[in-house]
Amino acid sequence: MTTHKLVVEVANACGLMPKKEQDSAGVYVHLNFNEQFYRTSIREKDLNPVWNERFCFDVSDPSNLRGLALEACVFNFTESKYNSVSSLGMVRIDGASIPIPPFSRRAKFHYYKLEKSSLLSRVCGELCLKVYISDDPSVGTSNCPLPGMSVIHFVPAPELREEDRSPRSRDIPLAHLKKITDNFSDDRILGQGGFGVVYKGVLQNGETIAVKKIVSSLVPGMQKQFENEVYHLMMLNHHNIVRFVGYCYETRNECLQHDGKYVFAEMAERLLCLEYMPNGSLDKYISDESSGLGWSTRYKIIEGICHGLCHLHVDNGKPIIHLDLKPANILLDDDMIPKITDFGLSRLLDQQQTICTTSRDGTFGYMAPEFLHGGTITPKSDIFSLGVIILEVVTGHRDYPDVTRTSAEDFIKIVLDKWRNVLERSLEYGSLETCYQQIERCIQVGLICVNPDRTKRPAITKVIYMLHGSESTDCTVRNEAA
The conformation of residue 55, written as its DSSP 8-state character, comes to E
Q: Spell out where 333-450 has E strands.
A: 338-340, 347-348, 355-356, 376-377
Tell how far CA 27 is from the center of its chain.
18
CA distance 473 to 432: 19
Q: What are the CA-CA distances from residue 401 to residues 27, 258, 299, 384, 409 (Å)?
A: 44, 52, 21, 14, 9
333 assigned to active site: no
CA distance 81 to 334: 12
CA-nearest of 381, 361, 379 to 370 is 381
Neighbours of 12 (CB within 10 A): 19
CA-nearest of 234, 254, 257, 259 to 245 is 234
The DSSP secondary structure of 335-358, one letter per residue, reads T--EEE---TT-EE--TT--EE-S
Tell how far CA 58 is from the center of its chain.
33
Q: What are the CA-CA distances from residue 431 to residues 296, 300, 438 (Å)?
A: 10, 15, 11
Question: Is 239:84 a contact under the CB 8 Å cutoff?
Answer: yes
Handedness of CA 11, 16, 22, 23 (dihedral sign): negative
Question: Is 116:61 a contact under the CB 8 Å cutoff?
Answer: no
The active-site residue out of 135, 324, 333, 410 is 324
Question: Is 458:301 a contact under the CB 8 Å cutoff?
Answer: no
Number of H helices and E strands in the chain, helices first, is 9, 20
Positions marked active-site = 324
